[in-house]
Chain A
Amino acid sequence: MLDNFFRAQSIAVVGASRSPGKVGYDILKNIIQYGYDGSVYPINPGAPEILGKKAYPSLLDVPGEIDLAVIVVPSHNVLEIIDQCGTRKIDSAIIITAGFKESGIEGSKLEQELIKKAQEAGVRFIGPNCLGIIDTHSKINASFAAGMPAKGSIGFFSQSGALCLAVLDRALPDEIGFSKFISMGNKADITDMDIMLALAEDDNTKVILGYIEGVSDGRKFMEVAREVSRKKPIIILKSGITTSGAKAASSHTGALAGREAAFDAAFKQSGIIRAHTLNELFNFALAFANQPVPRGPNTAIITNSGGPGILAADACDKSNLQLIPLRKEYVDELRTFLPPVASFYNPIDILGDSGAERYEKALTTVLKDDRINSIMVLLTPTAVVDVEATAQAVINVARLIDRPVMTSFMGKQRIDAAAKILLKHGVPNYSYPEEMVSSLNAMYRYHLWLQKPEKNFPVYDGYRDKATHIFQTVKRDNRDRLYELEVRDLLQVYGFRQPKSLFARTSEEALAAAKELGFPVVMKIVSPQISHKSDIGGVKINLQNKTDVEIAFFDITTRVRYILPSAHIAGVLVQEMVPSGREVIMGITSDPQFGHMIMFGLGGIYVEVLKDVSFRIAPLSREDAYEMIRETKAFPLLRGVRGETEADIEAIENSLLVLSQIASDFPDIIEADINPLLVRNRGKGVVAIDARFTIGGG
């Protein structure tokens, strides 16, 4: 895919310039100076020759075949050049030129025309408003970046050109190797997804790195990422995450969502490794590019000092990694050559007087334990240690095994040279232990992702038709909210158990209802103007007898008269009092980029404050449902604390899946929540106590 971009045999630079400092000059110079061996055609109507290459007045005048056009002409000329590409059957172009969508309404229109024109001409393009691309293997540097990264296996794409420059500049002194650099610009034609697919097929790329600000089609993005991440790790830094999305949400479950949650869920569900900072992006990339993925959580730490060892151990504790003690035989072996005051358990402290030899012996011994899936080597530059020799010792061991080895030689002045040696031999070195641990952990999590079975998406067929009429009525009435009784019907259709309930207009009717249901009962106000009943004191529970019911009826209806005199009080709902259980909340929200998301969290009155909720993009797989429950901090409460019986977690999973089905069946839903969903003990199921559904989109 996109071969003509990265393996072009011939490149034309349209808008090549003779003046140093101009983009049209820099690009041509970059293509020539880094050893590209294909044909290069500068296009410039006013120059016979640029940088020693014969120039042509237009694309149409170039005698030979052209695989790739790099366009640097002013924006109003770009369409014409695309036309010419079509004529010359050039199917790939990089549009460096700015002045499109990013520059306002006129530019936006121009970009639309560009897209149309390119389709007509059969041209795929990267950009506009981008920095260009670099391929270190085919030695194409069709960019105006200063410098060419070392050859390597990291494929990097970025929505921001400036970030490309920064990453490149950061990579140069450490000789961090890249396979490809792609500045995406406005992504008018070729998108992140195209690039991910191309990098997935690229043999020179081992790990895919991306910086994105937003995606155009969230669903498609996930689909592609899911496919690609099975082949190669994708590490992405996503910026532009703010709470502004929360403002749009109208009820509290929505308010908890926002865009951050959507991306977070999307990344988790498609196996994307998320970097939260540029530093992390780099760190992770170095790990993946240079070391094999650990096949298990067990790790060992070898250190020449206590403090850093403890820091690393702390970091492990917060990660998915585990520090396990070595088998006795290897501990005994360590005792044969380590000083007696050394620490033989993980982290293994071989003491500050260690030289390279002791490091190598310790490493070799530890790695004899086949339960250890990875190893981390810590070094503080003591007076006695020969840092470079130790680096060499690590390399000697690392190249013999197919388990990941990472180092954190801490410091700068005495470390830099060793760090370079290490990296050159494929051992990434990290300045701080926490960075090393989080990078190793990212690799382990990727291993877990690869181990995951294909997702199982249960389908609950045959309910939709029975509920369609409900949504039709709501739409016909031009409402956005389902009435309480409609919500009951909907949940009924989808098999949610709900408390039995009866409608009553007067206290006499309420009493009759209570007798029919059996005491104790719950009473709730029914009014089209009131959706959050308990906020205004519209709910009374545990009504034991006639007096309770009469008082409750009086209190509830009177309260509404005081607070909302204009509200129509239809009556009250008398409900059976459901035996106690643990309260959770689940809901549907709608994200502009990813569509429906399913939410799960601890229920009750603290939900807004604690925000202990998890999200997944719908439709949910069984695994998603499983994970999102366990992701919440409240999960131990469901499993039971202090001798409590376990709650019916399986029933929660099923409910989440059914809710996801409702979301799929009715795309118009923009917001829904079941709050609370009462979870009874294991095997006893769940009961939907209260719920709300809102539709939109006309």
Chain B
Amino acid sequence: MISLYVGSTSGYTGKTLITMGLGHRFIRDGLKVGYIKPVGILPVKVNDVLTDNDAWRIYRALEMKDPLPEICPVVLTQELEVKSYREGIKGLMAKVVKSYNQIAKDKDVMLIGGYGSIYTGSYLGLRGLDVINRINAKAVLVVKYEGEYIVDYILQAKKDLKDRFLGVILNKVTQELKQSAYDYTMPFLQRKNIDILGIIPHDSIVGSITVEELNEMLGGKVLCCHDKLTNLVEHFLIGAMQVDKAIEYFKKMRNNAVIVGGDRADIQLSAIESGSVCLILTGELYPGEIILSVAEQKNIPILVVREDTYSIAKKLEKLSVRLRLRDKAKVERGMNMVNEHVNFSLLYKKMGINHM
């Protein structure tokens, strides 16, 4: 049995989806796969069992049969948070190990999902690095590719992980940064003997969000087209220019949502006419009847939010790094990408699995 910790050097790099993709492939290749997420940060109750939302999605995606409570032994609820800071909690590592052992019993591969970076969790006594050492796991790092400078973090992690470190998967590599990845980062890492286990391109559909989720995140009100809340938004645009420029601008981006002041009827119309999939009206200013009726005709949902355009844009920027994997089609697409862009033969070799 080998255990593989999927970690990273920062939060929101796409660990969950990659873990899911890896697990899926392992199963397809005939391995018995187990999964555990030592620390969950998205509490959810499933049939009265407290677990983590991402863990629960992986549990279901991999069609696991293990007892659900063991999948995520430590869930960061408000209670736990308050207690850990105000009183201190002991014995969490033991709890994690116990759950791990229980699930690992009859498996070929154990996937372990990290939270935050491999350095996160010290205050709970559950730092990623410590968990890796404690359960004697190998580790891959998922790195959101933001430029060549990320090699710094990888080098540090390699030093800390020592021979447990198997390599990196560069994730969300955009068209703009592709060249940087191939020309600079790859040669550098190869020279440092760090294996690149995969380069996964950025995908705007996987990175998309439904209008409904968007509304929930922004605390808005849906004014029309409630049946179109499943529209996927891939890009956000700010409507603050003159109308003649606006239409051109809106047309350039597929599946865009336009953030615009509630009093800018001209821009709102331009957005609707140029095929945006959602309007986000800021400043708690409600649109006129005409806008509503046009939106209804074209079936484009309108959200009204309280904050101003800048604040909303700022929020959305944060939002885009922590997307949720709720949409089935999105998840499947993501898993396929993992399958396609991860070098599994190299990974298996590094994991010491003799396979195919």
Contacts and interface: CB of A to CB of B under 8 A. Distances in A.
Query: Is A bound to B?
Result: yes
Contacts of B78: 506-507, 553-554, 557-558, 561, 569, 571
6 contacts: A247-B263, A247-B285, A558-B43, A558-B44, A561-B42, A561-B76
Contacts of A255: 283-285
Nearest to A508: B79
A347 to B, nearest CB: 36
A interface bracket (residues with beta carbon within 8 Å of B):
20 to 34
A554 B45 contact: yes
B188 to A, nearest CB: 33
Interface string B19-51: 000000000000000000000011111000000
Contacts of A565: 41, 322
A561 B76 CA distance: 10
Given A558-B77, A571-B78, 12 more contacts: A247-B263, A251-B284, A252-B306, A255-B283, A506-B78, A506-B83, A532-B219, A553-B78, A554-B77, A558-B78, A562-B42, A571-B82
A243 B53 CA distance: 45
> Top 10 nearest A-B pairs by Cβ distance?
A557-B78, A535-B219, A536-B219, A558-B43, A506-B79, A505-B82, A252-B284, A506-B82, A563-B217, A255-B284
A571 B284 CA distance: 27
Nearest to A243: B263
A608 interface: yes
A532 B77 CA distance: 22
Q: Is the interface of A mostly helix, strand, loop or mixed?
A: helix
Contacts of A251: 284, 306
Contact of B285 (A246, A535, A536, A557): A246
Contacts of B263: 243, 246-247
Interface string A519-547: 00000000000001001100000000000
Contacts, number: 61
Interface in B210-224: 216-217, 219-220
Contacts of B42: 558, 561-562
Interface string A546-559: 00000001100110
B261 A247 contact: yes
Interface string B268-301: 0000000000000001111000000000000000
A535 B315 CA distance: 15
Nearest to A558: B43
A609 interface: yes
B interface bracket (residues with beta carbon within 8 Å of A):
20 to 34
Interface string A296-313: 000000000000000000
Contacts of B53: 562
A561 B285 contact: no
A255 B219 CA distance: 18
A532 B306 CA distance: 9
Contacts of A563: 216-217, 219
Contacts of A507: 78-79
B309 to A, nearest CB: 11
Contacts of B217: 563
A554 B49 CA distance: 13
B257 to A, nearest CB: 17
Interface string B318-330: 1000100000000
A474 B11 CA distance: 35
Contacts of A246: 263, 285
Nearest to A535: B219
Interface in B53-109: 53, 76-79, 81-83, 86
Nearest to B315: A564
B89 to A, nearest CB: 13
Contact of A554 (B43, B86, B216, B219): B43
Interface in A243-274: 243, 246-247, 251-252, 255
Contacts of A536: 219
A255 B77 CA distance: 37
A608 B284 contact: yes
Nearest to B306: A532
Given A247-B263, A554-B45, A554-B77, A609 B286 contact: yes
Contacts of A532: 219, 306
B290 to A, nearest CB: 16
Contacts of A535: 219-220, 306
A80 to B, nearest CB: 46
Contacts of A609: 286
Interface string A481-511: 0000000000000000000000001111000
A553 B50 CA distance: 14
Given A243-B263, A247-B263, A535-B306, A557 B216 contact: no
Interface in B160-192: none
Contacts of B322: 565
Nearest to A525: B78
Interface in A334-357: none
Contacts of A608: 284, 286
Nearest to B304: A608
Interface in A565-602: 565-566, 569, 571
A159 to B, nearest CB: 26
A247 B283 contact: yes
Nearest to B86: A505
Contact of A561 (B41, B219, B284, B286): B41
A284 to B, nearest CB: 31
B72 to A, nearest CB: 14
Contacts of B45: 554
A557 B81 CA distance: 11
A466 to B, nearest CB: 32
A557 B41 CA distance: 12
Contacts of B318: 566
Interface in A659-677: none
Interface string A413-444: 00000000000000000000000000000000
Contacts of B216: 563
A557 B77 contact: yes
A255 B286 CA distance: 10
B260 to A, nearest CB: 13
Contacts of A505: 82, 86
A571 B43 CA distance: 16
A554 B50 CA distance: 10
B16 to A, nearest CB: 14
Contacts of B43: 554, 558, 561
Contacts of B76: 561
Interface string A2-29: 0000000000000000000000000000
A563 B322 CA distance: 10
A113 B349 CA distance: 86
Nearest to A536: B219
Interface string B192-223: 00000000000000000000000011011000
A22 B286 CA distance: 51
Contacts of A553: 78
Contacts of B285: 246-247, 255
Contacts of B77: 554, 557-558
The interface centre, meaning the residue of B44, B45, B78, B286 with most chain A CB atoms within 10 A of its CB, is: B78
A508 B78 CA distance: 11
Contacts of B283: 247, 255
Contacts of B220: 535
Interface in B296-353: 306, 318, 322
